[in-house]
Amino acid sequence: MSHIKIMINGMPGNVAAALAAQAMKDERFEIINASLTGPEIVQDRHIVDGKTFSLIHPDERDQAIVQIKNRENDFISVDFTHPTAVNGNAEFYCKNNLYFVMGTTGGDRRQLEQTVLRSGISAVIAPNMAKQIVGFQAMMQYAAENFPGLFSGYCLEIRESHQKGKADTSGTARAMVSYFNKMGVAFSEDQIIKERDPRIQQSVWKIPEAHLSGHAWHTYTLHSEDGTVTFSFTHNINGRDVYAQGTFDAVEFLFQKAKSGLKGRVYTMIDVLKQA
């Protein structure tokens, strides 16, 4: 059985390291022992479950990627780096003809898509890799497109909690804002309530202590003008395993697109789900 080679970028970050640990147990994949990292990282290697990964800093990646491509031939890049690196990394992948799965949130998303559309590769770009949440978002998108104004006059509260190290507001929560807007709710992204304090997460939110360092809790609550009607949608994730499952499905999906030579295409997790 041939394996799909993947290069997981973002180590020693928690998500990238967790993905690497899962990939090493998955017979579909062969993981390259190198990872793009940020300029703030001082170490030059990171160990995951006994496997050593070389950490490639921004000032050395142009030279390093040539060597990796010559050694490994075709592979899929998986990006779970930092929001500030999103656009620069996308340009790097496109310049080097590296098909990639972008799980990192933040950055200029329109520019991100345009970079791929103008390139010689394709990519899967999604603010959330958890398939079940993506399916929930698809349902909300369907409602937004088919029932405009459904919640006109309602007040909305969006609360999201992630581990202390997550720099930006949840990409999933931001995506949901647009759906509620189409359903008639006046709400902006800067109104999202973002929690990153572990003490409050444990004492107020009741997030299990074991998952304070890795979780994604979201609640969307709607109240009618007269206060007689309330709708609430909640999805709470502890740990990171669910993201690995979706990411690996996206890798398989993109690998087939790469084999077909499809270029300049931007796919979402909805596309991945439809072909699962």
User: Could you give the maximum distance between any two Cα atoms of the chain, in Å?
Assistant: 66
Neighbouring C-beta atoms of residue 157, cutoff 10 Å: 14
> Is 166 a residue of the active site?
yes
Of 58, 19, 216, 197, residue with least CA distance to 127: 216
How large is the C-alpha radius of gyration of the chain? 19
d(CA 138, CA 124): 16
Are 151 and 107 in contact by the 8 Å Cβ rule? The answer is no
Are 76 and 255 in contact by the 8 Å Cβ rule? The answer is yes
Give the distance, in angstroms, between the CA of residue 2 and the centroid of all CA atoms in the same chain: 27
> Is 223 a residue of the active site?
no
Which residue out of 82, 131, 166, 182 is catalytically annotated?
Answer: 166
Which residue out of 82, 131, 162, 215 is catalytically annotated?
Answer: 162
d(CA 245, CA 23): 10
SS (H, E, C) 67-78: HHHHHHCCCEEE
Neighbouring C-beta atoms of residue 276, cutoff 10 Å: 11
Amino acid at 163: Q
Q: Residue 199: left if φ>0, alpha if ψ -120 to 50, beta else—which one?
A: alpha
Residues 6+ apart with CB under 8 A from 165: 14, 213
Are 9 and 79 in contact by the 8 Å Cβ rule? The answer is yes
Active site residues: 162, 166
